[in-house]
Amino acid sequence: MQLIDYIKLVDMKNKTELERAKLLCFYHYKETGELQFSIAKIIELMVKCGFNTPNSTRLKDKLTKGRDKILSPLKGSKGIFEFIPIIHQALEIELGTSWGDTVTIVSSSELIDEIKFCGKRNYLDRLIMQINHSYRFNCYDASAVLMRRLFEVVLVLSYQNMGIDDQIKDSSGSGYLMLDGIVRNSKNNQTLKLSRIKNEFDTFRKVGNFSAHNITYTASKKDIDDIKLNYRVMLEELYYKSGLLD
pLDDT for 56: 92
34 pLDDT band, cuts 50/70/90, is confident
Q: How many CB atoms lie within 10 A of CB 45?
A: 19
Q: Which is more confidently placed, 75 or 164?
A: 164
pLDDT for 175: 93
Query: For the residues 4-9, what does the mean pLDDT come to?
Result: 90
109 pLDDT band, cuts 50/70/90, is very high
pLDDT for 219: 97
Residue 242 has pLDDT above 90, yes or no: yes
What SS3 class is residue 241?
helix
Half-sphere exposure at residue 230, Cβ-oriented, CA atoms within 13 angstroms: 16
Instruction: Report d(CA 222, CA 218) in Å as an integer.
Output: 11
Instruction: Report d(CA 216, CA 36) in Å as an integer.
Output: 38
pLDDT for 35: 85
Instruction: Report d(CA 74, CA 82) in Å as an integer.
Output: 6
pLDDT digits (tens, 9 = 90+) for 122-135: 899 999 999 999 99
85 pLDDT band, cuts 50/70/90, is confident
60 pLDDT band, cuts 50/70/90, is very high
How long, in residues, is the chain? 246
pLDDT digits (tens, 9 = 90+) for 191-215: 999 999 999 999 999 999 999 999 9
Query: For the residues 35-57, what does the mean pLDDT come to?
Result: 92
Residue 228 has pLDDT above 80, yes or no: yes
